Amino acid sequence: MTEAAARSPGASRLTRDDALALDAGDALAPLREQFALPDGVVYLDGNSLGALPKRTASRVQETIVHEWGDGLIRSWNSAGWIALAQSIGDAVATLIGSGPGEVSVGDSTSVNLFKALSAACALQQADAPSRTTIVSERSNFPTDLYIAESIAAASGSKLRLIDARDLADQLDRDTAVLMLTHVNYRNGRVHDMAETTRMAHAAGALVVWDLAHSAGALPVDLHGADADFAVGCGYKYLNGGPGAPAFIWAHPRHTERMDRDGMRQPLSGWFGHAAPFDFTPSYRPAAGIGRFVCGTPPIVAMRALQCGLEVFAEAESHGGIAALRAKSIGLADLFIDGVETTCQGRGLALETPRNPAERGSQVSFAHADGFAVMQALIARGVIGDYRAGHAPSAEADLIRFGFTPLYTRFVDAWDAAAALADVLSSEVWREPRFHRRTVVT
């Protein structure tokens, strides 16, 4: 943070000392010590890439040097590699309201979405062949829309993109599957999973949920919502590292139906075979969620994800996911209040719902020069990110700030708001260096 920002009269109605006092009373504060966070940096981009758990480097080193180096191929048995997809899946299950043995980890979010969405469409084709439409939000994360486009093109079905406010009117007799991200990646708005699923089922549709921006950040109850399928990312709030393996879940009623009727998901890889080491020339799917496994799991990356999930196990003694959710709400409220108090008239517009019940664990502001503003902010040691808007949909350019309660402090939220006020009031963002585009924004 700059000297000017440090001297600012306050980043909210709370003072910086007030924020420090909140940190002193925070039962979750000790969990920050589990992460390797660079000095002088306020990291508010955990909704895009989570921070590094301190234990990860040694665990990965152990996996490479001893399990791979010494154990060689024996480690599939001796080090338990063969069971990682399921054991790590069980750790994810505790965060998303599913049961043991129902979640599998491996492949990317895109690949897992292809499997889940294809399976949902196949189930509907068997029961209601006249239903040929996949419905999703126009502002859904692009990879989800691209995957849906490819499935629609291959199957002769249709993809219909809608605005969230029109959802109830767009679920009709043609709708086969509703595909939504639980927390919208742009504005942070959270869908009511139970009510949306109920509404979709009443219309005869199945629902595929993307939990990339909610797993590990807020309570998720897939069984309580009677959801159908879900996928999610391992490298955001789960802190599994860049490109970490993703997860997939299917309600047992669907896996049991697929078992009973001999239905397959389209990527019938050898690790999804009922007996992969029988090496038979024809495919026989594994039971349950096992049929959704495809290729050989990336073991080194799986160990890194395992480390990220272990921190959540430790968080249980500090109040678990409910305490994490309460803290994320407090962090975001403090930040919103600070920005709106100190940045009035500076071109910012809050895009995230003000009501905590309607938002995830991020805050997004629109700004006409959002890219340059964010680059200037990063130069001051406050790391968020930028997401471009698109015409003619009237989407604005956004600067996003993610609040990961495992390691984000209240003073971080205060300092970030103060730094943003300094960037805007000084207009330093107008400097040409902050307008140079990079590939990753």
Q: What angle do CA 9, 14, 16 make, to 5 degrees?
A: 60
Look up 54 and say whether it is catalytic. Answer: no
H or E element that contains 362:
strand 362-366
pLDDT of residue 4: 34
Q: Where are the domains of the chain?
A: 3-52+320-435, 80-308
pLDDT single digits (tens) 174-198: 999 999 999 999 999 999 999 999 9
pLDDT of residue 391: 65
Which is the catalytic residue, given 35, 43, 114, 141? 141
In eight-state DSSP terms, residue 69 is I
Radius of gyration of the chain (CA): 23
The domain 3-52+320-435 having CATH identifier 1.10.1040.10: the answer here is no
Q: Measure the CA–CA gap between 113 and 119, rounded to whole angstroms.
A: 10
pLDDT of residue 392: 66
- At residue 395 the predicted structure's pLDDT band, cuts being 50, 70 and 90, is confident
Is residue 233 within 8 Å of 246, Cβ to Cβ? yes
pLDDT of residue 387: 95
pLDDT of residue 2: 36
The answer for residues whose C-beta is within 8 angstroms of residue 175's C-beta and 6 or more apart is 131, 133, 135, 160, 200, 203, 204, 205
Backbone φ and ψ for 403, nearest 5 degrees, come out as -115, 105
Mean local confidence (pLDDT), 408-412: 98
In this predicted structure, the answer to whether residue 417 has a pLDDT above a threshold of 50 is yes
Backbone φ and ψ for 185, nearest 5 degrees, come out as -70, -25
Can the peptide bond before residue 276 be classed as cis, meaning omega within 30 degrees of 0?
no
To the nearest whole percent, how much of the chain has pLDDT over 90? 92
Look up 185 and say whether it is catalytic. Answer: no
Return the exposure string of 413-437: e unless at least 16 CB atoms fall within 10 Å of the residue's CB, then b. Answer: bbbbbbbbbbbbeeebbeeeebeee
To the nearest whole percent, how much of the chain has pLDDT over 70? 96
Q: Alpha helices, DSSP H only, in 128-192?
A: 142-155, 167-170
Which is the catalytic residue, given 35, 185, 235, 371? 235
Which is the catalytic residue, given 26, 107, 144, 210? 210
Mean local confidence (pLDDT), 271-295: 95
Q: Per the structure block, which two tokens stand in for 366? A: 């629109």
Nearest to 325, CA basis, from 182, 214, 231, 400: 214
Query: pLDDT averaged over the chain?
Result: 94
Look up 400 and say whether it is catalytic. Answer: yes
pLDDT single digits (tens) 21-61: 999 999 999 999 999 999 999 999 999 999 999 999 999 99
pLDDT single digits (tens) 152-169: 999 889 999 999 888 989
Which is the catalytic residue, given 131, 303, 325, 400? 400
Is residue 105 within 8 Å of 295, Cβ to Cβ? no
Backbone φ and ψ for 44, nearest 5 degrees, come out as -120, 45
Q: CATH number for 80-308: choose from 3.30.70.980, 3.40.640.10, 3.20.20.70, 3.40.50.720.
A: 3.40.640.10
Exposed/middle/buried for residue 65 (C-beta within 10 Å: 0-12, 13-18, 19+) = exposed
pLDDT of residue 11: 43
In this predicted structure, the answer to whether residue 415 has a pLDDT above a threshold of 50 is yes
Token look-up 């100190």 returns 342
Look up 115 and say whether it is catalytic. Answer: no
In the three-class reduction of DSSP (H, G, I as helix; E, B as strand; rest coil), residue 384 is classed as: coil
Same topology, domains 3-52+320-435 and 80-308? Answer is no
Is residue 233 within 8 Å of 212, Cβ to Cβ? yes
Which is the catalytic residue, given 236, 291, 325, 327? 236
Look up 210 and say whether it is catalytic. Answer: yes
pLDDT of residue 264: 87
pLDDT of residue 6: 36
Is residue 338 within 8 Å of 413, Cβ to Cβ? yes
pLDDT single digits (tens) 59-76: 999 999 999 999 999 999
